[in-house]
Amino acid sequence: MMDFIIQIMPNVVDRFDVFVESIYETLLMILISGSIALILGLIFGTILVVTRPGDILENKAVYTVLGKIVDLFRAAPFIILAMILTPLSQLIMGTSIGLKGAYIPLIIGTAPFCARQMEQALSEIDRGLVEASQSMGFGPFEIIWKVYLRESIPSIIRGFTITLISMIGLTAILGVTGSGGLGVFCINYGYNQYNYDILWVSLAILVLLTILVQGIGNFLARKTTH
């Protein structure tokens, strides 16, 4: 069995320690950046919902400005955005390369996308529930917590699952800027050295990771659906 593995992926076996480390870095990028992006996405998505016309904290200025900012970052091509954010990564993380250099581009590149996903999730709440809560004397923050967020958990999970899957692809793109993970492994040891077994195995790992995230997301969404 081992001889067969060596035969079909010799370059992966030769650099197995680097391969494992790159997988670990990719998982760490997704875990840390995904968690922060979820928090920011929930905050911005909630603000967009409650400040829209006719909602509980209607504020046209906030809704318009925040919406434009979110759309601006969403529209920017990620690879160019990552390059532009190099000085910010250097300032905050002390470096713009390696694992630490990946966090800022991933968070800033993903949070606006997550915000729109969260906005969509919260917008699915029946307006009748909000109006009923208001008639019961609930304040704005009680409505946000007990109605918008609590009742939208399955949709929030589905939206966050989509965000994480998108982030998996972005971690690979960051290999171009030398930010660590499987992207750098593929470029340095696979593409640049014509070692196609490294490219195929890395692709398989990313596909399996995507399937795993989607499966977990679907399971949690079903479990939290009333």
35: domain CATH number is 1.10.3720.10
**Range in 1-10, 42-51, 89-98, 215-224 the model is least confident about:** 1-10
pLDDT for 141 beyond 80? yes
Average pLDDT, integer, range 81-104: 87
pLDDT in tens, 168-194: 989 888 887 778 788 888 888 888 888
Residue 226: predicted pLDDT: 64
Q: Note whether residue 4 is domain-resident.
A: no
Full domain range(s) for residue 201: 12-224
Instruction: Report DSSP state, residue 54.
Output: T
Q: CB 122: neighbour CB atoms within 10 A? A: 23
Does the pLDDT of residue 31 top 80, yes or no? yes
The answer to whether position 7 is within a domain reads no
- Helix ranges (H only) for the chain are 2-8, 10-14, 16-50, 60-75, 78-84, 86-93, 100-123, 127-135, 140-143, 150-151, 153-173, 181-185, 196-224
Q: Quote the number of domains for the chain.
A: 1
Residue 47 lies in a domain: yes
User: Does 1 map to a domain?
Assistant: no
In a domain, 99, yes or no: yes
20, part of any domain: yes
- 2 inside domain: no
Query: Does the pLDDT at position 30 exceed 90?
Result: yes
pLDDT at 165: 93
